[in-house]
Amino acid sequence: MVYTALLPRSWFGVRLIHAPTDRQPQRCATTLCDHLKAKCPTLADPSKAFYIPSWLMPQGDMQTIYLYTQHYKPAGCPINYDREIFEFSDGGKAAIDWSLPSQEAAADAPLLVVIPGIAGTSYDYYVRSFIRHLNEQLPGCRVAVLQSRGCNGVRLVTPKSFHGGLTDDLREFIKHICRRMPNAPLVGIGFSLGANILTKYIGEEGSDCRFVAAASVCNPFDIDTTVRNMCLPTLKNRYLYAAALTRSLVSVFTENEKVIMAGNVELDAAAIAASRNVSDFNVAYTAKVFGYDSEKDLNTGGSCVPFLKDITIPVLFINALDDPMCYKQTIPYKEIKDNPNLVLALTRYGGHLAYFEGTRLTPWLPQQLIMFICAMLEWK
């Protein structure tokens, strides 16, 4: 338990991890971290960057569970979307939910590409909260929330759904968006497993990446270690985290069982539906459908860490040490320090995608992301 009132303010400081100053990219004689310090003071200025969790729920599990309860309260944070059903080259379909700006946007207005977590949607609270704050502070921005196949009311039309390292669908999404809005500067925002997918994609694209910058929030980094930890037979995994994620995955299967079982890969429907954890589901369904020899090959091949060295745009990572789902042992400190384009903002507390503060349980995260977006759009 964290007794916030009894600890010094310095205990809650945001720790920045990055390459040495002489290796950082510079624009207009300003390094990346100096620019972040000036433009994102509550994230990057040591005298002002603090995250103090609410005393009402100071611990990561409490924060994460509370966030989950907010997914079912859209009236408290309403966002209107225009839905586009996007068709992939293999005939599969998925939804792009567009949050249109409150004022008419110019052709070169920024476009934020949001990728939710595993089986996540545009209606998850952390997505809605971010967009609501964005609309208030940057009314000319457009937002596209890219959702995985089989999610948010769009049924599968091919046997393949998604996995944590699948970047092919994101690549098609981005090409489509760039054709539709060729003059818009793109900024990527990835949450949880979506952060891993976004980061891996940016590394794969290298110097051809169309994003000008990106933020990765609560990235699991090492999927194999994350999945193995979530399969440990603890009470929290059995009844909370692994159980909730497994239910989400199994529901995608059960809602699309006829299409999935009609594919050319032999699957055991009963084994998939009876999955007790993410590993069971990966073994019974995901690895087989996507052509991997084993679950370990699926997980290691999908992790973003090997691609960090190839990233050529500024990427901000935000992770909490008390995240109960993305373990602190997986954070790749060395790889982040080795690439001068990468910055990690590390907090002691915050849980998984939660980061609530104060007695009113105000989300801390949206403001930090908006400051970063503004800073990157200015850093030319």
Q: Are 307 and 221 in contact (CB under 8 A)?
A: no
Question: 133 and 239: one domain?
Answer: no
Q: Of 302, 317, 342, which residue sits at a domain end?
A: 302
- Among residues 129, 192, 275, 279, the one annotated as catalytic is 192
Domain boundary among the residues 302, 328, 355 is at: 302
In this structure, what token pair is assigned to residue 14?
């945001």
In the predicted model, what is the mean pLDDT of the chain?
94
Residue 161: pLDDT over 90: yes
- pLDDT band, residue 200 (cuts 50/70/90): very high
167: CATH: 3.40.50.1820
* Same domain for 298 and 267: yes
pLDDT at 102: 63
Q: Which of 253, 273, 302 is the last residue of a domain?
A: 302
Are 49 and 60 part of one and the same domain? yes
CB of 174 closer than 8 Å to CB of 210: yes
Residues 187 and 140 in one domain: yes
Identify whether residues 291 and 352 lie together within a single domain: no
Q: Which residue has the tokens 């040490």?
A: 321
| Residue 373 CB neighbours (<10 A) | 24
Range of the domain at 289: 223-302
For residues 183 and 231, state if they share a domain.
no
Q: Give the model confidence (pLDDT) of 114-143 as tens digits.
A: 999 988 999 999 999 999 999 999 888 899
Tell me, yes or no, whether 60 and 147 share the same domain.
Answer: yes
> Per-residue pLDDT averaged across 249-256, rounded?
96
50 secondary structure, DSSP code:
B
What is the model's pLDDT at position 28? 82
User: What pLDDT shows up at residue 157?
Assistant: 95
What is the pLDDT at residue 352?
97
Q: What's the chain look like in SS3?
A: CCCHHHCCHHHHECEEEECCHHHCCEECCEEHHHHHHHHCHHHHCCCCCECCCCCCCCCHHHHHHHHHHHCCCHHHCCCCCEEEEEECCCCCEEEEEEECCCCCCCCCCCEEEEECCCCCCCCCHHHHHHHHHHHHHCCCCEEEEECCCCCCCCCCCCCCCCCCCCCHHHHHHHHHHHHHCCCCCEEEEEECHHHHHHHHHHHHHHHHCCEEEEEEECCCCCHHHHHHHHCCCCHHHHHCHHHHHHHHHHHHHHHCHHHHHCCCCCCCHHHHHCCCCHHHHHHHHHHHHCCCCCHHHHHHHHCCHHHHHHCCCCEEEEEECCCCCCCHHHCCHHHHHHCCCEEEEEECCCCCCCCEECCCCEECHHHHHHHHHHHHHHCC
Same domain as 181, residue 123: yes
Q: Burial letters for 112-134: b for 16+ Cβ neighbours within 10 Å, e otherwise?
A: bbbbbbbbbbbbbbbbbbbbbbb
Whether 186 and 233 share a structural domain = no
Question: Would residue 133 show up in a list of annotated catalytic residues for this protein?
Answer: no
Active site residue 222: no
pTM equals 0.96
What is the count of structural domains for the chain? 2
Q: How far apart (Å, rounded) are the C-alpha atoms in residues 142 and 82?
A: 11
Q: Is 163 a catalytic residue?
A: no
Phi first, then psi: give them for residue 162, nearest 5 degrees.
-160, 165
Do residue 127 and residue 254 come from a single domain?
no
273 and 139 belong to one structural domain: no
What distance in Å separates the CA atoms of residue 36 and residue 32, rounded to the nearest whole number?
A: 6
| Pair 315, 30: CB distance under 8 Å | no
User: Pick from 59, 167, 71: which is nearest to 121 by CA?
Assistant: 71
CA dihedral 118, 124, 125, 127 (to 10 degrees): 80
User: Which pLDDT band holds residue 2 (cuts at 50, 70, 90)?
Assistant: low
**Among 27, 39, 21, 129, residue whose Cα is nearest residue 372:** 39
Which residue in this structure is represented by tokens 């669908």? 169
Distance CA 264, CA 254 (A): 18
Q: Minimum mean pLDDT among 106-110, 288-292, 309-313, 333-337: which range?
A: 106-110
Residues 280 and 214 grouped into a single domain: no
